[in-house]
Structure 1
């Protein structure tokens, strides 16, 4: 692995780190994806060729390229190649519909789109809505008549391109669901992927150390910042990282059993589903030292079951795409059954600060609920081409999260609600306005309001309250069929409630909170 002094540099970038690993440990495995193992030498060599191929296409720093497909070593070659060149990579959620994919491509201005075989039809369908200038590149290894990804870069030099790229330049553009009906591109600098590692040696916390023989399994997909960041963190540390093309409980369990996995990074529901796989037994997790989880709250009963059955240390992290790096951690020492702090999101990480503000922007004392705002070591650069939204969210370096919560007297953060009405379904963010805009496009629907209701398996499910056009009718089944090709499955309402009129305040704004509260009465907090 790289020396401590080398890794402590505040200017070294991802390509240099990979190059150092390749030089000193060329045959060490960097990534395992399915049956394919990629060494650090191969990752370095291939990412250099990809970078040179991108530049040969005429792309320059600041241009956007997209990736639509499942996680693979090829995807992370693109990540490192983008870091080589200053080109910004836009990972696209492959669960999105054609219309949603088209929005991301159009909004980002992607000039090149890499797509795997499973999503090629969706990409082709999205192209007419975007631009005839957008070029598709297939990610399959073989391809036909030289059309494959490997053939595309095969003739390029395997040495780093000559480019002046700063670690503080944009590297990623991750799309989040939009509070106003359209998803926003969150621009993230390469520095954000180093932020946690940069201050790790200053923290003197044993649970932050990464053993040289660690084998990490990351089951959060790379189109989420948490999944991508954990994989890149493994590459920075020089360990083996197992990446699933697609999360399934069975594939996850198989990887843990057969790959000697020592650390797992997941959304809570993913952990719970692994534990109910047929034939699962405690011996399967004998090599695990750590399970890190985040992305959505976790019921205490579920957490207790996971701690018991996985039989290792647990670590919770809290952050969001806009913070680009975890802001708080609930350490292993706080993970014991019955500890009231299991309901918290933990303490700020070194280099991060948290405040809870009232409606006037004034800090609140411990125990009082307000909006959680965070100052992290490397927050987002901006919302792409949305200066007003950027100014409203990123104020003097503080990210206004839209989460409601409070701090206790010891500085632990507790999340109690979501100010912006966001719904979290199995770790996926769903914003009501985006769903409502599609629902009301049905000719029989006059207006709609979408809220989240608690669900013990998925955390929350989407409920839609529907007011119909007078004289029109539609059934829940018909609405479900109507929405099938217009919204990703996790965004589609699971329940429809028909009412005459939606509740509104004096200014005409729909009172989602009034509709939502009926599902949450009697609960200590309004997230599940």
Structure 2
């Protein structure tokens, strides 16, 4: 298997079908493939060789789509850079992975001097934006128009297709090495569920394309002939407009994005009935948000995908029918067709159903390893099983329930408290828009359960009201002992809450620390 295989098939079978829609540009599969072959020729002329890493720091666009194909076309590996990082963090990833060619668009062009200063090895900048080409950069469109198309190397199998840096929710990011087989196994397995992406549909890209969740949906979409409807970045107005104008059938969003959509006062002004599949991840969806979202997207089946970059990324799927069962709405789903999933104890023995342990996953979608980190790789992958670091339990029917990151578990007064359970209780309060639960230092209890809460507009709640609400749903020792109200929660590029940022003010000066 090789990543570009789907492009050749789509050109053969439907050359005049739109491959990408971005802004005012629509390009067919035939046009897109020709541009990709020419861009690959340009990269080859610039000295990019098999196995080299080529980076991109840009918002979503049709050129991002072309980059994702052109780099593996010549046997090289992509390095999609997290757009929320600082120049120092970006330079770290470029230096570590020895990425010497970088695509940059208008938004990030101002970073070029700092990146060159911090990484003198950054030999070539390719400007893939719409404005004036920065000094010292090469123009994307000039490269495409001035180079002849070259033959696809059809590199595939276990060859490296990309280095994907983790979001850093639990510490310093690591470069995850994925192969063609990894990405395609996850995509094919997800499609085999029958609830992932519509064949020959229109797939909306609103989540950041640097993140593997979106790249996974992009890969799956290519396999079933999707037209990629691309917006630069998520905004409620941009997403609603794109769905309505282009009759998008499929979308990948995270619950925070769905929340922003249903809260938008203009939501009733757009026809969103074309959406058939809405895949979400990063966290479960609350019952209240699910019900509101179903009214906004009346034709859409909701599917939760749980996984991680190291799994390319899908491990479990919670299908639309599962969302109709109140007992399963907090589940992450069951093992996707391409993997095995187990819950194990610290000695890697499978635990009984209902017992909390670590979620481990095995299959051909498990990463090759971490870039230049053999010890970390050996610690994560043992006997073929990827150890996710997530605490979970499995019921008698194979449904997995994620209870917390193992290192996020709060130990208060000798009792283990899983933040996800407390967050579920908090989310049921009518004034709570978003929340996160962390452990903070406490002289009496060691750690105490602390809630950070964002309230819905034009609502109010007191600390005592929040605590009383939780105590009506969960045990007293699990309920927050303190509550903090904020305007917004810190988010990663993937839409995950950065709990380490919330902990900093409490733990940086504490006698003992958690990360």
Aligned to 1:523: none
| Residues 347-386 of structure 1 aligned to structure 2 (within 5 Å) | 347-386=334-373
1:502 to 491, 500, 510: 510
Out of 33, 55, 59, the position equivalent to 1:66 is 55
User: Deviation per CA, 1:296-351, whole angstroms, max 9, x where unpaired?
Assistant: 23223222221233222111111100001311111111112x61100100111112
Counterpart contact for 1:269–1:457, Cα < 8 Å? no
Q: Is the 8 A contact 1:403 1:415 kept in 2?
A: yes
Instruction: Give distance in 2, aligned partners of 1:369 and 1:26.
Output: 51
> SS in structure 1 opposite 2:66?
helix
SS at match of 1:44: helix
Quick one: distance in 1 between partners of 2:275 and 2:132?
Answer: 38
Aligned to 1:75: 64
Question: Mapping of 1:139-158 within 5 angstroms?
Answer: 139-141=128-130, 143-144=132-133, 147-158=138-149
Q: 2:230 corresponds to which residue?
A: 243
1:378-417 to structure 2, matched below 5 A, reads: 378-417=365-404
- From 387, 390, 407, the counterpart of 1:420: 407
Distance (Å, rounded) in 1 between the aligned partners of 2:506 and 2:247: 52
Rounded to whole Å, the distance in 2 between the matches of 1:224 and 1:452 is 30
Q: Distance in 2 between matches of 1:287 and 1:361?
A: 45
**1:47-446 to 2 correspondence within 5 Å?**
47-141=36-130, 143-144=132-133, 147-161=138-152, 163=153, 165-178=155-168, 181-199=171-189, 203=192, 206-208=194-196, 210-212=198-200, 214-281=201-268, 284-311=271-298, 312-336=300-324, 339-421=326-408
Q: Which runs of 5+ in 1 are unaligned?
A: 1-10, 433-448, 459-482, 505-509, 513-528
Q: Distance between the aligned counterparts of 1:158 and 1:376, measured in 2?
A: 36
DSSP 3-state at the match of 2:209: coil
CA contact (8 A) 2:198 2:250 kept: no
**How far off its partner does 1:226 sit?**
0.5
String of CA shifts for 1:278-304, please: whole Å, max 9, x gaps. Answer: 221286222222211112232232222
Deviations 1:228-254 (A, max 9, x none): 111222122112121211111110011
Structure 2: where are the runs of 5+ without partners?
410-418, 424-435, 439-446, 457-489
SS in 2 for 1:350: coil
TM-score, with normalisation over the residues of structure 1?
0.77
Q: CA deviation at 1:141?
A: 4.9
Please tell me whether residue 46 in structure 1 is matched to residue 35 in structure 2: yes
Are the counterparts in 2 of residues 71 and 222 from structure 1 also a CA contact under 8 Å?
Answer: yes
Aligned residue pairs, count:
442
* Pair 1:88–1:200, CA change in 2 (3 A): closer
Whether the aligned pair in 2 keeps the contact of 1:318 and 1:326 (CA below 8 Å) is yes
TM-score, normalised to structure 2, is 0.78
| 1:90-123 superposed Cα distances (whole Å, 9 cap, x missing partner) | 0011111111111111111111011012101113
Q: CA 1:27 to 1:406, structure 2 compared with 1: closer, same or farther past 3 Å?
A: same
